[in-house]
Structure 1
């Protein structure tokens, strides 16, 4: 359902659809009235949304809308800048935790810059994740899902291509006991053929039932992957509904996504 009821009611631009039944399934993740700053700028202004377990939610909006700041707030990376609000994961109050505590509860952020550790091979990057969180996937299981990484296991990780580094960034998260996956611009700067491969990997993550929030400027790709979408504008939620509603609503996409 759109937050701006009078402007975007969730009805596609053409045709009609029956009213949606309210889900009785409890939220696995909840953000409640988040307010956060980046330096002096008031970036996140009262953001609230829920995600059910195993769901993929696309968090969309124009540049500067507050998407990355919302992700970092959820992961507790900008803990001092959360001035108000609550973040809950499976009844655990993430807003009361430091970033490392949230990580131990199963929150995994793959940042836009990927943060591949210089001087370590692919294998060593994965082993380091397993030392910190030994309950995740085995390295051999990761290599089954990421055959390119298996081929390059002894290669220094920073020399990988951009797409391969993105694969490694996702794989490192899976090497932990992950419950909530946060992806910040996973397709950024990648060739279309590599985007397709990353999409295939994320479809596999979806099949595993891992709850995922994806921030992505390639909104169409994110909407095809996700079942739900939340759109931010100027730090506020302006739409919360199904991904298909956004794909079907040209006016909504043009106004808030410029597509």
Structure 2
């Protein structure tokens, strides 16, 4: 007969063997629309994954499912982060467990200054960076700390959205189209910041239409096609495979 102690030890061993972040046989729906169709992936701690695909491939839906938002609805599968079962959590619980989503629309809170947006993000338990640390890495935000967040430029709003995630206790950072609508010079500035985040050991998943920019930054790549995974491998493999890029990314 298996004892309680043995069950606890077995569970502990399973957690040790499980990757830092993993998704297994994930199925999710928007109403009746079957949008995430049985995807599985894993990511070691401190690495960056580029989640790529054409428009409508299911990339953003996958990110939102990882983050446990209400839509899409998870119907089947498991999501684990650092031994914690995100698939059993709601979005606020997943955030407290260390998953931070920076959505494409950035969701800067109207009526609050830059500093107030950052301060509000620190209300929940589990603080990450101090606000002054954010200002050190985002000098533009320091210069505009008393400016209303929604009046910032697009690039500055993206910096604020990333900074807001970093003041939480972030273990996994999800970035949805971080370069969308930004001038090339601002994209380079955001890339520099993301490289620094990587050096700090923060695990990151990037969904980005600018696939080459995302691949230059990433360790691994996953390409989605109509809700399923069409390719999993290194970022360099995708950069080196013109046929693969043309078929699934149109580049």
Is TM-score (shorter-chain normalized) higher than 0.5? Answer: yes
- Is residue 2:184 matched to residue 1:192? yes
Aligned-residue offset at 1:133? 3.6
When residues 98 and 166 of structure 1 are mapped into structure 2, their CA distance, relative to the original with a 3 A threshold, is same
Q: Secondary structure at the match of 2:174?
A: strand
TM-score by length of 2: 0.92
The answer for unaligned runs of 5 or more in structure 2 is 1-16
Cross-structure match for 2:113: 121
1:74-125 residue CA offsets vs partner (Å, 9 max, x unmatched): 0001367111111001111100001000000000000000000000000000
TM-score by length of 1: 0.89
Cross-structure match for 1:241: 233
The answer for unaligned runs of 5 or more in structure 1 is 1-24
After superposition, the CA RMSD in angstroms is: 1.4
1:214-236 residue CA offsets vs partner (Å, 9 max, x unmatched): 00000000000001000000111
Where has structure 1 moved over 6 Å in runs of 4 or more? none
The structure showing larger relative contact order (alpha-carbon pairs under 8 Å, at least 6 residues apart) is 1
Aligned-residue offset at 1:51? 0.4
**Stretch deviating more after TM superposition (117-126 or 35-44):** 35-44
**Matched pairs, number:** 236
Cross-structure match for 2:166: 174
Partner Cα separation in structure 2 for residue 228 and residue 78 of structure 1 = 28
Aligned-residue offset at 1:26? 5.2
> Which of residues 52, 57, 72 in structure 1 aligns to 2:64?
72
> Which of residues 81, 84, 107 in structure 2 aligns to 1:89?
81
Retained in 1: the 8 A contact 2:27–2:76?
yes
Partner Cα separation in structure 2 for residue 195 and residue 141 of structure 1 = 21
- Is residue 2:21 matched to residue 1:29? yes
> Which of residues 99, 102, 109 in structure 2 aligns to 1:107?
99
> Which of residues 145, 149, 152 in structure 2 aligns to 1:160?
152
Partner Cα separation in structure 2 for residue 57 and residue 78 of structure 1 = 24
Retained in 2: the 8 A contact 1:79–1:99?
no
Aligned-residue offset at 1:159? 0.2
Aligned-residue offset at 1:167? 0.2
- Specify which structure has the higher proportion of helix: 2
When residues 26 and 81 of structure 1 are mapped into structure 2, their CA distance, relative to the original with a 3 A threshold, is closer
> Which of residues 175, 179, 202 in structure 2 aligns to 1:183?
175
Aligned-residue offset at 1:134? 4.9
Q: Secondary structure at the match of 1:125?
A: helix
